[in-house]
A and B are shown apart, each in its own frame.
Chain A
Amino acid sequence: MNLPSPGLPDFDYVSADTSDEVVSLLLKYPNDARLFMGGTDIFLHMRDRLVTPKLLVDVKHLPGMTSIDFDPKSGLRLGAAATLNMIARHQAVVKYYSLLAEAIDAFGMYQLRNRATIGGNLCNASPCADTGPIALVYEASLLAIGPKGERTIPAAEFFLGPGKNALDEGEFLMRIDFPTPPKGCAGRYLKLGRNSAGDLALVSAAVMAYPDESVKSSYSFRLALASVAPTPIRVPAAEAILARDPLTDETIELAANEAEATSRPIDDIRASAHYRKAMVKALTRRGILEVRTMLEKEG
């Protein structure tokens, strides 16, 4: 049968039943097998012949792969194949992880989010992935399964470069754990795209903060940026400024400058590096200001 162009190249499909099966397929076909869940990214690359796996291993039907569990002590556990819509409408996410829900709302469009998964978005390790900076500010950890068993990888060590993650040969992502957020925490995710209809981020900033008596400013901040470096990044220098000095407009300006200085964007088809740098500063400043207002309301 002739498929209409542009069709997908030839491949074999298998839906895996156990994690052992996945690991053994990955070890047996290290160059030819690719895992997939929602397919919203890999199918595009396959259509463009950027990747041409001979075997697609569907891992979304493995036990626990789409589960979402919350416990006030241990936090949120997301199966890697939980779809973004499943996550965003989960009561615990709405209540305790509003920053995650906000980032999902900024992601693509409704019907795409019925297929796109949290694990896929993280594993693609795209510098502009919306869930990347969110995993960083919540200090999530990723549970991988491989030939040597289970391994936990902190989100801060998971992203290695565009399209490169810390999974070893034969390993795959099973679950993402978000710890219980700090008490009184507030957050904003600000995303700039070419339009507001779910475009990829030109720049995005995740800002989280919570009351913390152990720091001079009384508030600890966590800042992360996307689309302005080879991976999503935290901005420790700006966080240090916000912990040290009272939260005045001047302090916020200094922190925003630090975020701009830390960012290393490139010129590409969607925006220039120069523009992105300016927008890092603007979004960081706006995010901190909005979070400050949220904290003041709470306090």
Chain B
Amino acid sequence: MGTHRITLTVNRVQEVAEVPSNLTLLDFLRERLALTGTKNGCSTGECGACTVMMNGEPVNSCLVLAVEADGAEILTIEGLAHDGQLDTLQKAFIELTGTQCGFCAPGILISARALLNRNPHPSEAEIRDALRGHLCRCTGYVRIVESIQAAAKAGG
């Protein structure tokens, strides 16, 4: 089986690695870079726990090969806070208890960040639509929606 040399940016840091063809981006992040904030839920692109930003758009990292991320810019939950500051969304989720067990939160926060980037003032329906690909078994989603609304109100 072949391996490939890839160069990519993860959370604003350049990484160079030799990866086998069948390594997913999710496993690359978790197993190689020890960025275990991104979770492995269903491995089939349905639960959204593995969502990361790839070149500014959210993708299910369980369905992306690491070799496909060659040249890409990846943002994971570990990179959402920067310069010592939490993201507005993280602050809102903490304040309003938008997270309980926390397993779905890294993916949801990435999708929510992508949503606010492309639509700074989403309606509740638009927020719920953006969460369509995320399963949460704790919150009932209400606190999640409220947290995203609060973050949007606080300036995104």
Contacts and interface: CB of A to CB of B under 8 A. Distances in A.
Interface residues of B, number: 34
Contacts of B2: 12-13
B102 to A, nearest CB: 19
A153 interface: no
Contacts of A115: 59-60, 63-64
B8 interface: no
Interface string A101-145: 000000011111011000000000000000000000000000000
Nearest to B66: A13
Given A11-B21, A109-B132, A197-B133, A39 B43 contact: no
Contacts of A39: 63-65, 68
A269 interface: no
Contact of B27 (A3, A58, A85, A112): A3
A47 B57 CA distance: 25
A1 B31 contact: yes
Interface string B19-32: 01111100100110
Contacts of B23: 1, 3
A256 to B, nearest CB: 29
Nearest to B134: A109
A4 B32 CA distance: 12
A48 B54 CA distance: 26
Interface residues of A, number: 30
B44 A9 contact: no
Contacts of A44: 44-45, 63
A8 interface: yes
B48 interface: yes
A196 B129 CA distance: 10
Contacts of B30: 4
Contacts of B134: 109
B39 to A, nearest CB: 12
A143 B7 CA distance: 34
Contacts of B57: 85, 111, 114
Given A6-B43, A7-B27, A44-B44, A110 B21 contact: no
A3 B1 CA distance: 14
B129 A110 contact: yes
A111 B111 contact: yes
A179 interface: no
B58 A4 contact: no
Contacts of A56: 21
A112 B45 contact: yes
A89 B21 CA distance: 32
Given A44-B44, A197-B133, A13 B27 contact: no
Given A3-B27, A108-B133, A111-B48, A10 B59 contact: no
Most B CB within 10 A of own CB, among A8, A109, A114, A115? A109
B144 to A, nearest CB: 14
B24 A8 contact: yes
B35 to A, nearest CB: 14
A212 to B, nearest CB: 35
A67 interface: no
A165 interface: no
Contacts of B59: 111, 114-115
Contacts of A9: 22
20 contacts: A1-B31, A3-B27, A8-B22, A11-B1, A12-B21, A13-B4, A13-B21, A13-B65, A39-B64, A39-B65, A44-B44, A44-B45, A47-B44, A109-B48, A110-B130, A111-B58, A112-B60, A112-B133, A196-B132, A197-B132
Interface of A: 1, 3-4, 6-13, 38-40, 43-44, 47, 56, 58, 85, 108-112, 114-115, 196-198
Which 8 A-B pairs give the minimum distances between C-beta atoms?
A109-B133, A13-B21, A8-B22, A111-B58, A109-B132, A10-B1, A12-B2, A197-B132
